[in-house]
A and B are shown apart, each in its own frame.
Chain A
Amino acid sequence: MKSKSIGLSPKSFYYGYDSKKDLKHLVRLVLILVFIALLTGMIGIWVVYRSAHERHLDMLRAFANTQGDVLDAYMLLDEVKSGRVHGDTPHEHNLDNVKELLLKQESFLETGQLLLAYEDTSTGKYILIGTGHMPSGQHSVLVVENTRELTPSMRLALEGKEGVLEGQDLHGAPVVTAYLPISKHNAGLVVMLNQSEFYAPYHRARLITLGIGVVFVVFGTWVIWSAEQKNLRQVREREQLIRLSFENSAIGKALVAPDGSWLRANKSLVNILGYTEDELLRMDFQSITYPEDLEADLDHVQAMLKGEINVYHMDKRYFHKSGDIIWSHLSVSLVRDEQGEPKFFISQIQDITERKRVEFENQRLHERLMDQLSLRRQQLDTASGALEGFAYSVSHDLRAPLRAMSGFSQALQEEYGDKLDDTASDYIRRIHRASTNMAELIDSILRLSRTSFGELNVVSLDITAMSKRVVENCRVVEPDYPVEVRVAPGLKGQGDLRLIGSVLDNLIGNAWKYTHGVENPLIEVGQEHVTLSEQSDDSVLAFYVRDNGVGFDMAYSNKLFRPFQRIHSDREFEGSGVGLASAQTIINRHGGQIWAQGQTGKGATFYFTLNHTQFDSEKNSTS
């Protein structure tokens, strides 16, 4: 299918206006109007003409009647005067007199003639008496052999008929006649008027009407013409508006035939693609589409031609005239004709090369970051593994020499104790105690390392039940310790059962430990809103373990959670110094926070949260 076969002239079809076509249309319209005007005028004139014509003919006839009456009256008067009212051959004489009378009479109007004819009984010839232009003079008498030489109207009059007739006089000039018989004298009377004179008013009227008609038609044409011109100008302006907005749109726009040929391209598109419009019009979009993007585009085109979709958008690549690849965002809609057949596509093409470049760059950057991240993670995993291995080695390899120290000092004491003095025995005891302490330290390091590695197995936790279990364990170890423990009911959380258990072990164990020696020892486990800082109103719902034990100096609070930092000396309270450090590690791994408040001699409160989502949801539900 060729683009031109769809019947669009590429240059003009989208203007929607064809000057030649519209001119023809206009001329046709004017002609129709003129025709209607003329037809109406002619019918009007004809009707008026008919009635006027009849009236004029009637007048002519009436005039003829009047003349006849006059002649009758004259002849009667003549008879009375001569006393031959009842004579045998009166009419010859009478008619002779009438002849005299007629011959004296002037012709009427300009070409009007009065004709009288009768048969001369003596000769059998017909005598025609007429006023006006008779062949033999101004007033003349004509004698003819028979009626055939007379005009048809006179013949009709002599036959005793009455009427009007258009015909010719004896000279062949066109005339209008009215005829009637004067039966008393066997004569016929004809009133005759030249047609030129009879119809002169009609000619004048026709000319005036024609003139006025022409003026009206010209004026009407001018009015219609100018109205149409104004309309056309408006249409043209509108078209120009559309054309200008098409031409000067910042977005590349094109009209594309169903087969893909470019029908029209605006300046922006020309700039984007680098081809001139004329060059584009000789190509189709397929030939400058990046091959990888062609199939998707054609799929869309087919779907649209089938009516499955109304519009489509896609990012695709074109080849610039220079061969560069242009990234574009394409939006296409289809225009159909009145029959629903696809007419052309409206394509809007935006140059997004720069955006794509940035996108690609971002993607590359992202990929590089991810690579780096995974490398870091690998490094971290390696480091973690190394650290884990190190902790493992420490726990095994360091223990062996300790075991030797401890074991052989013990063996020395057992087997050679009697040979040693007190000082030597004391030294041996010190070696033994030191090795035991070191073993505990090693165990602590191992515990701390265990809390830092390994998977978090997050489940729903019943903190209340877990706390109670810790307390029970403490009571098993020290059943006689008169401490009051209050665990709030319904404490729930999310976390790793073993690790959070270890945190509770630690915190409750600490509270248990540090309340020794105070009056009415009390340990409370619960949950409350805590304001994080004095500057802000933000508060979190945190679990707490509170005791009224020896407490601590807030000045040292930052040391609490560091491994092997102990505020209280070994002598007072047992402990390895990694409990709070591992608690902090565990809580941090859960995405929570742990902190402490206390005062020397007035007890301590350890708070912890399990994650930030809890903080958010709590905040929302309380606000």
Chain B
Amino acid sequence: MIPKKILLAEDNPDDELLTTRALKKCGVLNEVDVVRNGQEVIDYLECTGKYTDRTPYEPQLVLLDLKMPVKDGLEALEYIRKSDKFKTLPVVILTSSREESDLISGYKLGVNSIVCKPINFEEFSEAVRHLGMYWLLINEYPTR
């Protein structure tokens, strides 16, 4: 059985820990693989770079932070949506930005959802819980 993994792209270890903790607390038990920037997202998916030896399977869900070094979340999203292989992959942007321009570019590039990271941990947990539930359990997407 293919493990239903979640790919989390997050350069901030604090946010990473909070996100994974929130997911766990909400009962999302899927394994979370963490990458540090947009380039690593691409490498992870394509099994290139430092992920050459990774067992090639697609994650169930990609959680993208926007502001990351090397390549940011929008660049990674653009790559995913342009790739024939990954364009159906559910991608959710997790961001602390409330800039309209970020939201608009995100949706234009075909993101499935954008969730603002609230400061308040309860709200944050709630958001993550909804996300995990929706994209991992509720949402139906094409089987390959």
Q: Which chain A residues have a beta carbon within 8 Å of chain B's beta carbons?
A: 392, 395-397, 399-404, 406-408, 410-411, 435-436, 439, 443, 446
Contact = CB atoms under 8 A, between A and B. Distances in A.
B18 A395 contact: no
A399 B95 CA distance: 10
B22 to A, nearest CB: 8
A579 to B, nearest CB: 18
Contact of A403 (B15, B98, B122): B15
Looking at chain A's contact residues, the main secondary structure is helix
A408 B21 CA distance: 10
Contacts of B67: 396-397
Contacts of A401: 14
B124 A395 contact: no
A406 B98 CA distance: 19
Given A400-B15, A436-B119, A407 B124 contact: yes
Contacts of B121: 403, 406-407, 410-411
25 contacts: A392-B99, A395-B96, A395-B97, A395-B99, A396-B67, A396-B97, A399-B96, A400-B14, A400-B96, A401-B14, A402-B119, A403-B18, A403-B118, A403-B119, A403-B124, A404-B12, A406-B119, A407-B14, A407-B18, A408-B14, A411-B18, A411-B121, A435-B119, A436-B119, A446-B98
Contacts of A408: 14, 18
Interface of B: 12, 14-15, 18, 21, 67, 96-99, 117-122, 124
Contacts of B124: 403, 407
A322 B37 CA distance: 76
Query: Which of B12, B67, B96, B98 has the most chain A CB atoms closer than 10 A to its own CB?
Result: B96
Given A403-B18, A404-B14, A407-B14, 6 more contacts: A399-B96, A403-B15, A404-B12, A406-B121, A411-B121, A446-B98
A527 B21 CA distance: 55
Contacts of A446: 98
Nearest to B122: A410
Contacts of B99: 392, 395
A435 B122 CA distance: 14
B25 to A, nearest CB: 9
B120 A399 contact: no
Contact of A399 (B18, B21, B117, B122): B117
B98 A404 contact: no
A446 B96 CA distance: 13
A256 B109 CA distance: 77
A408 B17 CA distance: 9
Contacts of A397: 67
Nearest to B22: A407
B96 A396 contact: yes
Nearest 7 Cβ contacts at the A-B interface: A404-B14, A410-B121, A407-B121, A439-B119, A407-B18, A399-B96, A403-B119
B131 to A, nearest CB: 16
A400 B12 contact: yes
A403 B21 contact: no
A402 B118 CA distance: 10
B122 A395 contact: no
Nearest to B99: A392
B15 A404 contact: yes
A497 to B, nearest CB: 15
Contacts of B117: 399, 403
B120 to A, nearest CB: 6
A603 B121 CA distance: 39
A410 B99 CA distance: 27
Given A395-B96, A395-B98, A436 B14 contact: no
Contacts of A435: 119
Query: Which of B12, B21, B117, B121 has the most chain A CB atoms closer than 10 A to its own CB?
Result: B121
Contacts of A392: 97, 99
Contacts of A436: 119-120
Query: Which of A396, A399, A407, A408 has the most chain B CB atoms closer than 10 A to its own CB?
Result: A407
Nearest to B25: A414
A392 B21 CA distance: 27
B26 to A, nearest CB: 13
A431 to B, nearest CB: 12
